[in-house]
Amino acid sequence: MFLPRLSPSARVRLARRACLAAFVPVVLLLAGCDLSELWRMDGHQSTLHVAGPVAAAQRDVFYVTWWVTLTIFALVGSTLAYATWKFRVRNAADEHAAPPPQSHGNPLIELSLIGLSVGALVIIAVPTLKGIWYTYDVAPAERANVYEVNATGYQWWFRFDYPTEQATVQGNVKAPLVTANELVIPAGRPVRINLRTVDVIHSFWIPKLAGKVDMIPNRANFIWLKADEPGYFWGQCAEYCGDSHAVMRFRVVALEPKEFAAWLEQQTQTARDLPANVAESDRPKAQFASLRAPNDFSVNESGITDRFEVSPLDAWRAHQIPEKHENPELIAKGKTLFTAKTCIACHTVRGHGAQGVTGPDLTHFAARTTLAAGLLENNPEQVRRWLHNPGAVKPGNKMAKGFADNNVTLTAEDEEALVAYLLSLK
Ligand code: CUA
In a domain, 288, yes or no: yes
Q: Distance (Å, rounded) from C-alpha 248 to C-alpha 253?
A: 17
Is residue 277 pLDDT above 80, yes or no?
no
Say whether both 413 and 374 belong to one domain.
yes
pLDDT value of residue 93: 82
Say whether both 250 and 283 belong to one domain.
no
Say whether both 121 and 155 belong to one domain.
no
In a domain, 369, yes or no: yes
Q: Give the number of the atom of ligand 1 that is nearest the alpha carbon of residue 242.
A: 2
**Ligand 1 centroid vs 334 CA: distance in angstroms?**
31
Ligand 1 neighbour 248 (Cβ under 6 A): yes
- What would the mean pLDDT of 252-267 be, rounded to a whole number? 97
Work out how many domains the chain is built from and give that number: 3
As to burial, measured by CB atoms within 10 angstroms (0-12 exposed, 13-18 middle, 19+ buried), residue 324 is: exposed
**Other beta carbons less than 10 A from residue 306's beta carbon:** 10
**Ligand 1 centroid vs 395 CA: distance in angstroms?**
13
* pLDDT tens digits, 102-123: 888 889 999 999 999 999 999 9
Question: 308 versus 178: which is more confidently predicted?
Answer: 178
- How many degrees, rounded to 5, is the angle at CA 425 between CA 179 and CA 278? 165
In a domain, 394, yes or no: yes
In a domain, 396, yes or no: yes
**Ligand 1 centroid vs 243 CA: distance in angstroms?**
9
**Ligand 1 centroid vs 89 CA: distance in angstroms?**
56
Q: Is the dihedral of CA 143, 149, 150, 154 positive or negative?
A: negative
In a domain, 338, yes or no: yes
**What percent of the chain is modeled with pLDDT above 70?**
87
Q: Give the number of the atom of ligand 1 that is nearest the alpha carbon of residue 241.
A: 2
Say whether both 75 and 159 belong to one domain.
no
CATH number at residue 66: 1.10.287.90
Q: What dihedral do alpha carbons 33, 235, 211, 31 form, nearest 10°? A: 0
* Side-chain-side CA neighbours of residue 202 (13 Å): 28
Ligand 1 neighbour 373 (Cβ under 6 A): no
Ligand 1 neighbour 317 (Cβ under 6 A): no
Say whether both 216 and 255 belong to one domain.
yes
| Residue where a domain stops, chosen among 264, 284, 299 | 264
* pLDDT tens digits, 6-56: 666 676 677 677 766 766 666 666 566 666 666 777 888 999 999 999 999
Ligand 1 neighbour 202 (Cβ under 6 A): yes
What's the alpha-carbon Rg for the chain, to the nearest Å?
30
Ligand 1 neighbour 237 (Cβ under 6 A): yes
Say whether both 73 and 183 belong to one domain.
no
Say whether both 231 and 108 belong to one domain.
no
Structure confidence at residue 249 as a pLDDT band (50, 70, 90):
very high
Say whether both 306 and 379 belong to one domain.
yes
In a domain, 131, yes or no: yes
Is residue 383 pLDDT above 80, yes or no?
yes
CATH number at residue 208: 2.60.40.420
pLDDT value of residue 163: 97
**Ligand 1 centroid vs 244 CA: distance in angstroms?**
8
* pLDDT tens digits, 60-99: 999 999 999 999 999 999 999 999 999 888 888 888 888 8
Is residue 300 pLDDT above 90, yes or no?
no
| Residue where a domain stops, chosen among 204, 239, 264 | 264
Torsion-angle region of 143 (φ positive above 0: left; ψ -120 to 50: alpha; else: beta): alpha
Ligand 1 neighbour 195 (Cβ under 6 A): no
In a domain, 233, yes or no: yes
Q: Which domain holds residue 252?
A: 146-264
Q: How far is CA 176 from the centre of its chain?
A: 25
In a domain, 367, yes or no: yes
| Residue where a domain stops, chosen among 264, 285, 309 | 264
Phi, psi of 183 (to 5 degrees): -90, 120
Contacts of 245 (CB under 8 A, 6+ apart): 156, 237, 239
